[in-house]
């Protein structure tokens, strides 16, 4: 018994993150990736006590300091299962419990899973590790093997209520290896805003990065209590670190590629996933836009929900010459800012080295490109026009024809609502138009992932410790 307790204490520890109002006590057992809930991530409102986990008995623990927990007794905590109503955590009748005491208590607890919303906070976890002792010699250790599948699914459902902000960041360079390494190193500077996806396109000389991080739950009255991203918010810090690294290490004047661009950091798009709201994503976008303008002195434009008039992205791009190209179908340099178009943040003159940045917030957008075995841009543009909603094509689809390599081009599409126009619908229409035009059409591809897939990746990164 003594040996098992020692082994358990060695394998299980409690840590704490304190990042921009996000306080989490984290329980870590086995480092295997197949562990279901080896830590608890708890998001709190900006006001109110910090809540952590239920790991022994049907009890909750709240932090009292970096090395101790405050136990909320079973009598004070009515939650026994995900179906029970949430109640406010009492502030009295608490007793201290150090981490070792907590670990020992957790070892002998009975099976009781918790997956519940408590006073606006998500509380997840398994209160039992009774099976841990029996399972520790097995090859596949599962911390929550005591839980029924129904309880696991309930916990997984509750987990999806976490509020996350996602940022897609597009850099106008895919060949400067040293610069890209610097940017990716900057991206990994924030543990709570993990880099989830990278898409490099050598022909377009462009890289897309996707990262996400937790933010506070949206207020019930967001007009009265708007979300104000703190300076230390992990997703804000990570994005700014990447933007600064790109601006410092890339010269737009040296860029050659067939994809349009307005700047070294061409485009930042913020999305709300989980229980986050679009208003929160918009607030974060405006904050980052202001940061870029003030810290780096780069003209910055906002669009979508981040703009007071909900200005669309393509409207800004059109005014800035984004869709104009030379006779070879290539875009070169940076646009001159029209006198009648002032940036929302920053100077009114763009440096040829950095260009401008466009930052916005909108619902999830999918990018789908369909290759065509031809370099005839006239034909390609006719097809793109018939595919796009603006040209009478598919609803919520934006499309343009771009050269992609020496012997082909692509119909590059933004799918603003895949429920209305799916990638397969785009594929079928391009194939039909290509056949009519006498050109061969290849199988299209997505350059990124769905919001559900990104959410899963974010949870995996946030909930996995090596």
162-364: which CATH architecture?
2-Layer Sandwich (3.30)
Choose the weakest-confidence range: 47-51, 194-198, 278-282, 284-288: 47-51
Task: Locate CATH 3.30.70.670 in the chain.
Answer: 365-449
Burial of 320 (0-12, 13-18, 19+ CB in 10 A): buried
Residue 267's φ and ψ, nearest 5 degrees, are: -160, 135
Q: Encode pLDDT of 21-48 as tens digits.
A: 223 322 222 232 222 232 333 332 222 3
Choose the weakest-confidence range: 5-14, 146-155, 271-280, 450-459: 5-14
Three-state secondary structure string covering 407-431: CCEEEEEEECCCCCCCHHHHHHHHH
The predicted pLDDT at position 23 comes to: 30
Residue % of the chain over a pLDDT of 90: 47
Domain 365-449 in CATH 3.30.420.40? The answer is: no
- Which one of the listed residues 23, 255, 259, 271 is annotated catalytic? 259
Which of 142, 132, 140, 85 minimizes the C-alpha distance to 108?
132
Q: Encode pLDDT of 348-381 as tens digits.
A: 999 989 999 999 999 999 999 999 999 999 999 9
CA distance 9 to 376: 68
Q: Encode pLDDT of 297-354 as tens digits.
A: 999 999 999 999 999 999 999 888 887 765 555 664 455 677 678 999 999 999 989 9
CB distance 383 to 432 below 8 Å: no
**Span between the terminal Cα atoms of the chain, in Å:** 28
| pLDDT exceeds cutoff 70 at 107 | no
Name 122's Cβ contacts closer than 8 Å, sequence gap at least 6.
Answer: 41, 42, 43, 158, 159, 161, 162
CA distance 282 to 286: 6
SS3 463: coil
The predicted pLDDT at position 192 comes to: 86
Task: Locate CATH 3.30.990.10 in the chain.
Answer: 162-364
Name 453's Cβ contacts closer than 8 Å, sequence gap at least 6.
Answer: none
Would you place residue 166 in the very low, low, confident or very high pLDDT band (cuts 50, 70, 90)?
A: very high
Token pair belonging to 448: 């990124």
Q: What is the average pLDDT across 272-286?
A: 94
What is this structure's pTM? 0.70
Q: What is the DSSP string of 323-381?
A: T---TTS-B-S-PPPPTT---SBS-SS-BTTTB-EEEEE-S--EEEEEEES---HHHHH
The predicted pLDDT at position 177 comes to: 95
Residue % of the chain over a pLDDT of 70: 61
The predicted pLDDT at position 2 comes to: 42
Residue 259 appears among annotated catalytic residues:
yes
* CA 170 to centroid of chain Cα atoms: 14
Would you place residue 462 in the very low, low, confident or very high pLDDT band (cuts 50, 70, 90)?
A: confident
Pairwise pLDDT comparison (25 vs 231), residue with the higher score: 231
The predicted pLDDT at position 322 comes to: 83
| pLDDT exceeds cutoff 90 at 179 | yes
């Amino acid at each position: 018994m003594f040996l098992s307790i020692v082994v358990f204490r060695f394998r299980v520890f409690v840590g704490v993150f304190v990042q921009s109002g996000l306080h989490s006590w984290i329980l870590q057992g086995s480092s295997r990736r197949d562990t279901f809930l080896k830590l608890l991530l708890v998001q709190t409102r900006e006001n109110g006590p910090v809540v952590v986990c239920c790991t022994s008995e049907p009890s909750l623990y709240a932090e009292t300091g970096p090395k101790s927990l405050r136990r909320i007794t079973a009598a004070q905590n009515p939650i026994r299962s995900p179906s029970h109503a949430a109640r406010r955590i009492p502030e009295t009748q608490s007793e201290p419990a150090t981490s070792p005491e907590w670990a020992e208590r957790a070892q002998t607890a009975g099976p009781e899973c918790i997956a519940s919303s408590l006073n606006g906070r998500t509380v997840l976890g398994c209160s039992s590790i009774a099976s841990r002792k029996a399972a520790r010699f097995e090859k596949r250790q599962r911390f929550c093997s005591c839980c029924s599948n129904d309880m696991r699914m309930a916990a997984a459902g509750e987990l999806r209520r976490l509020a996350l902000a996602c940022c897609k960041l597009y850099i106008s360079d895919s060949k400067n290896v040293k610069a890209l390494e610097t940017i990716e190193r900057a991206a990994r500077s924030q543990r709570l805003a993990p880099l989830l996806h990278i898409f490099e396109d050598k022909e377009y000389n462009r890289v897309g990065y996707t990262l996400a991080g937790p933010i506070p739950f949206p207020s019930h009255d967001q007009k009265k209590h708007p979300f104000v991203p703190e300076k230390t918010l992990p997703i804000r810090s990570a994005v700014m670190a990447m933007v600064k690294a790109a601006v410092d290490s890339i010269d737009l004047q040296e860029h050659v590629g067939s994809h349009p661009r307005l700047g070294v950091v061409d485009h930042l798009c913020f999305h709300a996933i989980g229980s986050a709201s679009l208003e929160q994503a918009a607030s974060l976008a405006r904050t980052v836009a202001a940061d870029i303008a003030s810290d780096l002195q780069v003209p910055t434009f906002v669009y979508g929900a981040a703009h007071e008039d909900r200005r669309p992205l393509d409207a800004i791009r059109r005014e800035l010459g984004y869709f104009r190209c030379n006779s070879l179908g290539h875009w070169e340099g940076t646009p001159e800012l029209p006198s009648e178009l002032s940036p929302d943040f920053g100077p009114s003159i763009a440096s040829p080295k950095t260009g401008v940045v466009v930052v916005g917030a909108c619902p999830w957008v999918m990018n789908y490109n369909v290759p065509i075995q031809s370099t005839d841009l006239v034909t390609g543009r006719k097809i793109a026009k018939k595919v796009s909603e603006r040209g009478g094509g598919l609803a919520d689809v934006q499309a343009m024809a771009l050269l992609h390599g020496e012997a082909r081009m692509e119909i590059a599409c933004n799918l603003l609502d895949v429920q209305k126009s799916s990638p397969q619908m785009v594929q079928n229409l391009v194939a039909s138009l290509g056949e009519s035009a006498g050109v061969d059409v290849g199988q299209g591809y997505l350059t990124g992932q769905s919001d559900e897939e990104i959410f899963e990746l974010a949870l995996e990164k946030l909930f996995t410790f090596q």
